[in-house]
Amino acid sequence: MKKSILLNALFALVFTSCSTLQFTGNPIDHLAVQSSEIIDWEQINEWQHADIKSENFPGMSVRKVYEELLQDKEGKTIVVAVIDTGIDITHEDLNESIWINEDEVPENGIDDDGNGYVDDVHGWNFLGDSPGDQYELIRLLKTGADFENKDLAIEKYAEMISKDGVKDNLLLIEKNLASDLYYYENDVKQTKKLGYNARTTGDDPDNFLQQYYGDGNVMPKSDDELHGTHVAGIIAAVRNNNIGIDGVSSTAKIMCLRAVPNEGDEYDKDVALSIRYAADNGAKVINMSFGKDFSPHSDNVREAVVYAESKGVLLVNAAGNDGANIDEVFSYPNDNFQNEPEVSSNFITIGAIGPIKNPLMIAPFSNYGKYNLDLFAPGAVIYAPVPSNQYEALSGTSMAAPSVSGVAAIILAYYPKLSPKAVRKVLMESVVKVDFQLELGYDRVKTTMDAISKTGGVVNAYNALLYASNNYKTLRKL
Ligand SMILES: [Ca+2]
Ligand SMILES: [Ca+2]
Ligand SMILES: [Ca+2]
Ligand SMILES: [Ca+2]
C-alpha cells in the first residue's frame, strides 16, 4: 500500500514536471456593444490594462490576467529587445527591468564575451555620440551619385522640405540638388539640410560588412530623447512597486538597442544590425516602434528578419502614424516587399486604438491595411516613463507595438518553447474582434476593423494565454 502511494506520488511529480501549464477560463468573445464617447479621465492611466469587456476602456485585459490566471505562477524571464532611441536605464521604474549581459565586464575596454561588441552590458548604441542623423534619402541624394529609386527620393525630399515651408516645385528642387547642394540651408530644419551630417560613428552606412561601430552607452543624449524609455516602460515598468506604472510583463528584461535618432530617420544598416545583435544575444521578442517610407536597403533588413526567425525571435512592428493605407503607401521595415508574399512568419504589424469603445476607437493617426496590418492595440494617451524619473502620456502606434510586445513576453514566460510563428498565431487567433461600424481617420470614413486589418481585432492578453493553453500541442508543431 505504502509503496503504491509513493509510486503514485512519484508518478504525479514526473507528470507535473513534464506537463505544461494549463489555464482555464472563458475567452472574451467579440465586442459588439459600443459605449459612450465620454472618456473617463480619472481612470485613464494604465487604461491599456483594462478588461475590454467589463470595463469602459478597450484594454488588453492585462489586470484580469494577473488577477485570474497568473496568481502565484512564476514565469520565465524573457529578453525583449527595444530598437529605439536611447533608453534611460537608471529610471526609477525601469532600472530593475533592464537586461544585463552577464558575460561582459563593464567598462574594461575588452569584448569579454567575444560577440564583437566591446562593453555591451545592456545592449548597443549604433548611433555613437550623435543626437540625430541626417535623413537617409538626403544622405544618398547629397552624394550626387546614382542609386536605386533616386527619382522617388527626390520626390520624397521635395515633400519633406515643402512641409518646412519651402514651396518650390519638384523640377526646381531637382535642378538645385544638381547645382547647389546648400540652396535650402536657411529654410529647412537642421536634419533635413543637405549639409548636415551628425553621424560620428565613422562607418559607411552602405557597407553592411562594417558591423562594429558605435558604443555600449545606451542612455539618451538628452531628456528630449524620450521615445525609447517610454516604449520600454510600457513593456516592462516594474509591476507592483508603488512607483510610476505597471508594465505589461512582469518578467521581461529590456535589451537596449539605440538605432533610432531623435531627429532624422533610422538607417537600414543600424536596424538590420540591431535585429542581428538581438537575435545573437538571447532576445525572444524585438520591439520596433519606428518606420519610414524610403528604405534604400530594405532587402538587408528583411534578411535580418529571416535570420531572427531562424533564432526563434518574434518582431513586433509599429504600423506608423500617417493615417495611411500601408497596402498602398509602403512602410518599412516590413516582412514583404510591396505586397509580395511574406518572407517569414515572425513579424507582426500593429495599429493603434484609443481609450474608447465606440466608432471612433481607431486612433485617427493610425496606419491600416488589410494585408500589412495584423492587429490593433492600445496606442493613444498611454502614460509611461520618460527620462529623469518622469512620466508622460504619449500617443502613436509606437505605443501600440510595445503593448503587444508585452503580451508576447507574457505568453513566452509561461510557454517558452513556442516558436515565433506560434506566438504570432496565438496573438492573432486570440484577438477580440470588433464588430460594430467604425469611422476611420480625421475624415471619419465608414469602415470595419475587419476591412482594415488582417484579424479585425484588438490584442488580448487573457485570450492569448487561454489560446496558448488550449492549443499547446498544435502550436508546438509550428
Ligand atoms: Ca561583447
Ligand atoms: Ca568588457
Ligand atoms: Ca511601477
Ligand atoms: Ca506582414
> How long is the chain?
478
Model pLDDT for residues 426-460, shown as the tens digit of each residue:
999 999 999 999 999 888 999 999 999 999 999 99
Range list of β-strands (E), 75-229: 78-84, 123-125
How many A from CA of 327 to the centre of ligand 4?
10
| Shared domain check, 77 and 163 | no
How many A from CA of 219 to the centre of ligand 2?
17
| Shared domain check, 146 and 290 | no
**What distance in Å separates the CA atoms of residue 336 and residue 315, rounded to the nearest whole number?**
13
Which of 192, 221, 238 terminates a domain? The answer is 192
| Nearest C-alpha neighbor of 301 from the set 261, 259, 263, 262 | 259
Q: What is the pTM (predicted TM-score) of this model?
A: 0.93
| Shared domain check, 460 and 428 | yes
How many A from CA of 121 to the centre of ligand 1?
8
How many A from CA of 335 to the centre of ligand 4?
5
Can you say whether residue 148 is alpha, beta or left, with left for phi > 0 and alpha for psi between -120 and 50 degrees? Answer: beta
Name the 3-class secondary structure at 144: coil
| Shared domain check, 365 and 464 | yes
How many A from CA of 334 to the centre of ligand 4?
6
What distance, in Å, lies between the first and last C-alpha atoms of the chain? 44
Per the structure, the count of domains in the chain is 2
How many A from CA of 101 to the centre of ligand 2?
10
| Nearest C-alpha neighbor of 383 from the set 265, 226, 252, 264 | 226
| Shared domain check, 75 and 180 | no
Q: Return the pLDDT at 240.
A: 96
Helix (H) or strand (E) holding 266: none
| Shared domain check, 188 and 213 | no
How many A from CA of 113 to the centre of ligand 2?
8
Q: Minimum-distance ligand to the CA of 369?
A: 4
Q: Minimum-distance ligand to the CA of 113?
A: 1
**What distance in Å separates the CA atoms of residue 113 and residue 230, rounded to the nearest whole number?**
29
| Shared domain check, 366 and 242 | yes
How many A from CA of 161 to the centre of ligand 2?
43
**What distance in Å separates the CA atoms of residue 440 and residue 73, rounded to the nearest whole number?**
40
Q: Minimum-distance ligand to the CA of 345?
A: 4
Q: How many CB atoms lie within 10 A of CB 162?
A: 15
How many A from CA of 348 to the centre of ligand 4?
6
Residues of the chain with pLDDT under 50: 1-2, 12-17, 180-182
Instruction: Label the pairing between strands 314-318 and 285-288.
Output: parallel
Q: How far from chain centre, in Å, is Cα 414? A: 21
| Shared domain check, 338 and 258 | yes
How many A from CA of 471 to the centre of ligand 4?
23
| Nearest C-alpha neighbor of 444 from the set 375, 384, 359, 380 | 359
How many A from CA of 105 to the centre of ligand 1?
8
Model pLDDT for residues 291-301, shown as the tens digit of each residue:
999 999 999 99
Question: Is 198 domain-assigned?
Answer: no
| Nearest C-alpha neighbor of 431 from the set 410, 412, 406, 449 | 449
CA geometry: angle 62, 65, 70, nearest 5 deg: 135
How many A from CA of 219 to the centre of ligand 3?
20
| Shared domain check, 90 and 48 | yes
How many A from CA of 58 to the centre of ligand 1?
42
How many A from CA of 381 to the centre of ligand 1?
38
How many A from CA of 252 to the centre of ligand 3?
13
How many A from CA of 188 to the centre of ligand 4?
35
| Nearest C-alpha neighbor of 128 from the set 214, 42, 202 | 214
Residue partners of 96: CB distance under 8 A and separation at least 6: 238
Question: Is 314 domain-assigned?
Answer: yes
Question: Is 4 domain-assigned?
Answer: no
Question: Is 165 domain-assigned?
Answer: yes
Full residue range of the structural domain in which residue 184 is found: 136-192
Q: Minimum-distance ligand to the CA of 122?
A: 1
Q: Minimum-distance ligand to the CA of 333?
A: 4
Q: At what angle do helices 420-429 and 298-310 cross, to 10 degrees?
A: 100
How many A from CA of 241 to the centre of ligand 3?
5
Q: Return the pLDDT at 35.
A: 78
Omega before 341 within 30 of 0, i.e. cis: no
Question: Is 131 domain-assigned?
Answer: no
Q: Which residue intervals of 297-418 are DSSP H helices?
A: 298-310, 397-414
How many A from CA of 293 to the centre of ligand 4?
15
The CATH number linked to 260 is 3.40.50.200
3-state helix, strand, coil in the chain (%, to 5): 30, 15, 55
How many A from CA of 96 to the centre of ligand 1?
21
Q: How many CB atoms lie within 10 A of CB 157?
A: 25
Residue partners of 16: CB distance under 8 A and separation at least 6: none
Question: Is 297 domain-assigned?
Answer: yes
Question: Is 270 domain-assigned?
Answer: yes
How many A from CA of 276 to the centre of ligand 1?
14
| Shared domain check, 152 and 113 | no
Question: Is 15 domain-assigned?
Answer: no
How many A from CA of 257 to the centre of ligand 2?
17
Cell numbers placing 461: 492578453
Q: Return the pLDDT at 400.
A: 98
How many A from CA of 223 to the centre of ligand 2?
27
Cell numbers placing 226: 524620450
DSSP per-residue letters across 188-223: S-GGGSTT-----S---TT-TT----SBS--S-SST
| Shared domain check, 210 and 184 | no
**What distance in Å separates the CA atoms of residue 300 and residue 52, rounded to the nearest whole number?**
39
Task: Give residues whose Cβ lies within 5 Å of ion ligand 2.
Answer: 104-105, 108, 110, 112, 119
Q: Minimum-distance ligand to the CA of 110?
A: 2
| Shared domain check, 226 and 165 | no
Beta bridge partners of 332: 292
Q: Minimum-distance ligand to the CA of 239?
A: 3
Q: Minimum-distance ligand to the CA of 302?
A: 4
Please, what's the b/e burial string for 192-229 (b: 16 or more CB within 10 A of its CB; e: otherwise)? bbbebebbebebebbebeebebbbbbbbbbeeebbbbb
Q: Minimum-distance ligand to the CA of 330?
A: 4
Cell numbers placing 144: 550626387
How many A from CA of 109 to the centre of ligand 1?
10
Q: Return the pLDDT at 19.
A: 64
